[in-house]
Amino acid sequence: MQNVDEDTITQIVLARHAEATDPRLKQIMTSVVQHLHAFARDVQLTEEEWFKGIQFLTDVGHITDDKRQEFILLSDTLGLSMLVTALNNRKPMGCTESTVFGPFFVENAPQYQNGDDVANGAKGEPCFVTGRITGLGGEPVPNARIEVWQADSDGFYDVQYEGATHNHGRGMLRSLADGSFHFKSVTAESYPIPHDGPVGRMLNALGRHPWRPAHLHFMIDAPGYERLITHVFRSGDQYLDSDAVFGVRSSLVADWRRHETGRAPDGTQIDTPYSTLDFTFVLNRASATVESRAA
């Protein structure tokens, strides 16, 4: 019979993992136990605080559904998502940096041709987006799969609207033979992450705001290259230095150039102000290991 107390509990728990057959799982769970126990000792965690923590995580689970992933929001706002992204996406100098995936990506977004209107009715000022996909040596990357998604001018993604059945502000297109692409959407605006739940209450208690700077999401896949998940941020946004999810990288900040009424980049006459964005994405070559996994 082992005597379990505050001095012996950690090693007793770890001893129970001795028969784990998955070495990586054993490594992770050993570290989790050690760090959790060290945290409790460091802050002298009370039973009341422990219960409040359990209730908080329970609330996070209850509010999570197929349209709202509160656990990702929690991870994002604690900086864990960005840390994991940085650890797993080290790239050579000159490659486009990765940033957080976010909770609003949707599988099977509609397919568009270059030049199409990806906004598909999303609210906002028109924006014409152009760009190129290249490798680190400047070589064009044709037929790259480009997924884009963004919030509308009210700060909402399509999936946040009750009863939404249409895809607005998201879609998939392919780069052309020279690696270029172009599409129409709406001008990105800053917006708050959902803060009417437990994560929002946490931010408020910590004196933090829930705002993200204006950005457009991209996920780019091409054979022979590593997948790129990133944002392009709008220069001049007031939240660039205090992004609620720590996702901003200076190399990902670009100018949305504003234009008055007149002839738009697609040749049509436009009677409202609009913006243009141009950005080049530089992909990193995939290792043989990564390529074999993708095959």
Count the domains in the chain. 2
For residue 50, being part of any structural domain is answered with no
Tell me, what's the pLDDT at 294? 42
pLDDT of residue 291: 47
Q: Give tens-digit pLDDT for 102-114.
A: 888 888 999 999 9
Q: What is the CA radius of gyration of the chain?
A: 23
Q: Residue 123 in contact with residue 152, Cβ under 8 Å?
A: yes
pLDDT at 21: 96
Q: Is 150 domain-assigned?
A: yes
The confidence score (pLDDT) of residue 104 equals 86
For residue 52, being part of any structural domain is answered with no
Three-class secondary structure of residue 190 per DSSP = coil
**Residue 166 shares a structural domain with residue 24:** no
pLDDT reported for residue 263? 85
Q: Is residue 62 part of a domain?
A: no
Could you tell me if 32 and 93 lie in one domain? no
Going by C-beta distance under 8 Å and a sequence separation of 6 or more, which residues neighbour residue 37?
Answer: 9, 10, 13
Same-domain check for residues 277 and 226? yes
Residues 156 and 281 reside in one and the same domain: yes
CATH of the domain at 111: 2.60.130.10
Q: Are residues 96 and 251 in contact, defined by beta-carbon separation less than 8 angstroms?
A: yes
| DSSP letter for each residue of 85-109 | HHHH----TTSPPP----S---SSP
Mark 221-243 as b/e (b = at least 16 C-beta within 10 Å).
bbeebbbbbbbbbbeebebbeeb
pLDDT value for 268:
84
Domain of 82, in residue numbers:
70-294
User: Are 26 and 82 members of one domain?
Assistant: no
**In this structure, are 139 and 253 located in the same domain?**
yes
pLDDT at 67: 75
Q: Are residues 31 and 74 in the same domain?
A: no
Contact 174, 222 (CB under 8 A): no
Show the low-confidence residues of the chain (pLDDT under 70): 1, 164, 288-295
- Give the pLDDT confidence score for residue 289 in this predicted structure: 43
Residues 33, 74, single domain; the answer is no
pTM of the model: 0.89
